[in-house]
Amino acid sequence: MNDILLKKIDSLPPLPKTIIELEEFKKSSNKDLDILLKILEQDPLIIATLLKVSNSAMFGFNNKVENPSRAIHLLGVNFTLSIAFGSAIKNAFDTDLRAYAMTADGFMRLANMSSNLLKEWIGKTDNLLKEELLLPAFLAETGRFVLAGLATEKGIADEFHNKIKQKPHEISEIEKEYFGACSTQVTSSIFKHWNLSESLVETIAHVHDIDNCPEKYKKEAQILNVVTTICNVTNPMADNFSEEGISKAKSFGLETRFLEKGIEKLQDRMLDE
């Protein structure tokens, strides 16, 4: 990771108050939904995002979700926390994502898609592992806010975007070429800077560095590698990225039947967007 990137991370503002309280809630043994609701209601932008995501075609709920309490009950605590963390972090970064041809809302959509794929895949065989990985799946690419901002500052946003458009299967390598680190490594460094949990930091750090991943986090990193492969920023859930992700899952020795079903389900939901 180059010095400019490290300085960018070191100069980030402190964690928003809402995220601090959400992190404390996440660590607490008391998962009272009323406490969670009170934390969320301090930030109208998070509430707006929560309702918007809940009503997206990606979830396929039959009736419109009109209040945050209903959203929490439908989504569950960890999915709600993922959306809240993502929304608060998105709002903490004052930058555009032009280098990735994406808006902040597009970032949330892709994060939502990644978490839904995880739920449809891992949730069918290991609910505890699914719950553990919902947050890192949602937040893994947060580092793109920093990389995109740096690309804009250096005047290379269009050049960078054209490069990943030409080689969409090599985005992490292109990020390393331009910035000395890929987005997931930057995300990990951001979360370490903010003193978030070791498991979150280590798992995300090794999404694109499986060979050097500590054994205790390897399976989690492999799963996230598959999810990020399929939910490629240039054309998420496209057949070519889905096939690549399935192939990776097989090479890692991971279950693929539910992965394939999950991809089909989400592809169908995308048609309704």
d(CA 265, CA 60): 10
Mean local confidence (pLDDT), 149-160: 94
Residue-wise pLDDT for 194-231, tens only, equals 888 899 999 999 999 999 999 999 999 999 999 999 99
Structure tokens at 8: 């960018």
Q: What is the CATH number of the domain that holds 234?
A: 1.10.3210.10
Q: Number of folded domains in the chain?
A: 1
Measured at the CA of 60, the angle between CA 54 and CA 63, to 5 degrees, comes to 70
% of the chain at pLDDT higher than 90: 62
**What's the pLDDT score for residue 94?**
65
Write phi, then psi, for 97 (nearest 5 degrees): -115, 35
How many other CB atoms are found less than 10 A from the CB of residue 80?
A: 25
Partnered with residue 102 across adjacent β-strands are 97
Question: Does the pTM of the predicted model rise above 0.85?
Answer: yes
φ, ψ of residue 59 in degrees (nearest 5): -95, -30
**Does the pLDDT value for residue 137 go beyond 90?**
yes
Residue with tokens 């250096």: 154
Domain that holds residue 101: 3-270
How much is the mean pLDDT over the chain?
91
List CB contacts of 238: < 8 A, sequence separation 6 or more.
232
CA 32/CA 215 separation, integer angstroms:
34
CA nearest neighbour of 104 among 94, 92, 90? 90
Strand partners, 97: 102
The larger pLDDT score, comparing residue 90 to residue 176, is at: 176
Task: Kindly state the tokens that stand for 31.
Answer: 């998962």
pLDDT cut 70: percent of the chain above it: 99
Instruction: With CA atoms as reference, report the closest residue to 109 among 161, 49, 62, 69.
Output: 49
pLDDT, tens only, 62-94: 788 889 999 998 888 888 888 888 888 777 776
Q: Are 37 and 68 in contact (CB under 8 A)?
A: yes
Q: What single string gives the DSSP state of each residue in 64-112?
A: ---SHHHHHHHH-HHHHHHHHHHHHHHHH----BGGGTB-HHHHHHHHH
